[in-house]
């Protein structure tokens, strides 16, 4: 009976092996198969238990904790104790400000929902029928989360996140196509939980963000800032595709032309 084995897309059929093969020939076949399996299995398989989707209110608190915890990686990459302490002090203040009422993260992440799920774009149409120049034409920002089911029920754990918005300023949105950064979409709050790194979660998040950006009017470029060399290596990986626009002693600016 014909038998087959499958490993990461490699299909082997037992019936292809001639019955006249010698022991030496079989050894060669076995070694070749092992080498093929080794090569095929080097890429990171997609974990089907992980879902990438737009953030929802129920995710906000976990996402906030994830982002705050993720800042430690940047602190740890500082080249010396002095800079490490400066980074730690800076991020401690940043967390306090952003997680306060009215902050970018807000209390239990309510700011994330307000900012990334309820953003508006200003109308640029001269014959707009409404007197309100902030018609809800479509969102200028969105956030994706990676969630993983942790039990047989409906409980999920947020293990990754990324936000993206039109323009480079964190507090404002370009309101006119003549604005320099109207066609630029910036990446914010990118983070993957420590236990979930190296599993392709970050690449899937960035792919979802890019797909969303490409659907927006006049989208030309994605851009981001980071002071984390590990993150910089991730963004400039060929699968993510960003290139260095500018580097200083403290941070880098990276972009991807669409």
List of residues 6+ apart from 80 with CB closer than 8 A: none
Give which of 196, 195, 194, 242 is closest to 222, Cα–Cα. 242
| pLDDT over 90 (residue 70) | yes
50-54: strand order across its sheet: 50-54, 141-149, 156-166, 184-192, 221-226, 252-257, 243-247
The predicted model gives 20-45 an average pLDDT of 42
Q: What are phi and psi of 163, to 5 degrees?
A: -115, 155
Q: CA 177, CA 167: separation in Å to the nearest integer?
A: 11
The CB-based long-range contact list for 102-110 (8 Å cut-off, 24+ gap) reads: 104/170, 105/64, 105/67, 106/64, 108/60, 108/61, 108/64, 109/59, 109/60, 109/61, 109/62, 109/63, 109/64, 110/60
Mind spelling out the 3-state secondary structure of 66-104? HHHHHHHHHHHCCCCHHHHHHHHHHHHHHHHHHCCCCCC
- Model pLDDT, residue 154: 65
- Model pLDDT, residue 150: 80
| pLDDT over 90 (residue 3) | no
List of residues 6+ apart from 172 with CB closer than 8 A: none
| pLDDT over 90 (residue 157) | yes
CB atoms within 10 A of CB 209: 22
The predicted model gives 145-152 an average pLDDT of 86
Give which of 124, 125, 126, 102 is closest to 115, Cα–Cα. 102
CB atoms within 10 A of CB 179: 14
| pLDDT over 70 (residue 121) | no
* N-to-C CA span, the chain: 52
pLDDT (tens digit, 9 = 90+) per residue, 175-227? 788 888 999 999 999 999 999 999 999 999 999 999 999 999 999 999 999 99
Kindly tell me the sign of the dihedral angle through the C-alpha atoms of 253, 254, 256, 257. Answer: positive
Least confident of 8-12, 47-51, 99-103, 124-128: 8-12
């Amino acid at each position: 009976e014909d038998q087959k084995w499958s490993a990461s897309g490699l299909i082997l059929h037992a019936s292809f092996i001639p019955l006249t093969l010698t022991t030496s020939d079989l050894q060669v076949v076995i070694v070749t198969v092992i080498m093929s399996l080794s090569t095929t299995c080097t890429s990171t398989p997609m974990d089907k238990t992980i879902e990438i989707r737009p953030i929802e209110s129920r995710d906000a608190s976990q996402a906030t904790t994830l982002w705050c915890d993720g800042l430690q990686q940047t602190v740890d990459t500082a080249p010396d104790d002095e800079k490490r302490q400066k980074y730690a002090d800076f991020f401690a203040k940043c967390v306090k400000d952003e997680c306060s009422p009215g902050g970018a993260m807000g209390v239990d992440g309510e700011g994330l929902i307000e900012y990334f799920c309820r953003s508006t774009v200003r109308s640029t149409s001269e014959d707009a029928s409404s007197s309100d120049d902030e018609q809800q034409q479509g969102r200028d920002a969105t956030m994706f989360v990676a969630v993983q089911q942790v039990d047989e029920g409906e409980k999920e754990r947020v293990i990754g996140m990324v936000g993206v918005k039109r323009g480079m300023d964190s507090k404002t949105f370009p309101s006119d196509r003549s604005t320099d950064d109207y066609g630029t979409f910036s990446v914010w709050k990118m983070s993957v939980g420590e236990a979930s790194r190296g599993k392709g979660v970050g690449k899937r998040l960035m792919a979802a963000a890019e797909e969303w950006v490409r659907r927006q009017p006049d989208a030309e470029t994605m851009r981001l800032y980071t002071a984390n060399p590990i993150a910089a290596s991730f963004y400039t990986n060929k699968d993510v595709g960003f290139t260095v626009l500018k580097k200083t002693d403290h941070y880098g600016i990276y972009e991807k032309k669409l």
